[in-house]
């Protein structure tokens, strides 16, 4: 059985101060790194394979609490609407640009027609 060191695999690092600070987190999962990035204002995600900063992805959305912390990051606006229903004052924005995004109304559980 091989080791779990991920040698030779692409890994993603969360780096403080726009990529010039220290590495605060490292993982082989891009989505996890982008999620952790939200906990560190001003941080970026960098690939260890080519040492380039990772783009958060076109159309990716994030839900931000009133104090500025990122609650959740996803591509599905309905999921964000569900989480926003539990967090009063939370706003949605595009992850890459920070542009505000209007969430669809959350209607609760969907029931199948019989």
The 10s digit of each residue's pLDDT in 61-79 is 788 888 888 888 777 777 7
DSSP SS3 for 34: helix
In which residue ranges of the chain is pLDDT below 50? 58, 112
Domain-wise residue ranges, the chain: 10-53, 55-114
CA dihedral 30, 23, 45, 40 (to 10 degrees): 100
Q: How far is the first Cα of the chain from the last one, in angstroms, to the nearest whole number?
A: 50
**How confident is the model at residue 14, as a pLDDT?**
92
**How confident is the model at residue 24, as a pLDDT?**
95
pTM, two decimals, is 0.49
Task: Give the residue among 31, 5, 74 at the shortest CA–CA distance from 14.
Answer: 31
How many Cβ atoms are within 10 Å of 71's Cβ, its own excluded? 16
**How confident is the model at residue 112, as a pLDDT?**
47
**How confident is the model at residue 110, as a pLDDT?**
53
């Amino acid at each position: 059985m091989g080791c779990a060191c991920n040698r030779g695999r692409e890994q993603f690092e969360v780096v403080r101060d726009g990529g010039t600070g220290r590495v605060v987190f490292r993982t082989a999962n891009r989505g996890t790194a982008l999620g952790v990035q939200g906990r560190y204002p001003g941080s970026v995600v960098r690939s260890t394979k080519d040492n380039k900063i990772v783009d958060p992805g076109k159309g990716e959305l994030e839900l931000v609490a009133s104090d500025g912390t990122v609650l959740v990051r996803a591509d599905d606006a309905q999921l964000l609407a569900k989480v926003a229903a539990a967090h009063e004052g939370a706003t949605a924005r595009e992850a890459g640009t920070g542009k505000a995004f209007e969430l669809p109304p959350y209607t609760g559980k969907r029931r199948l027609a019989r």
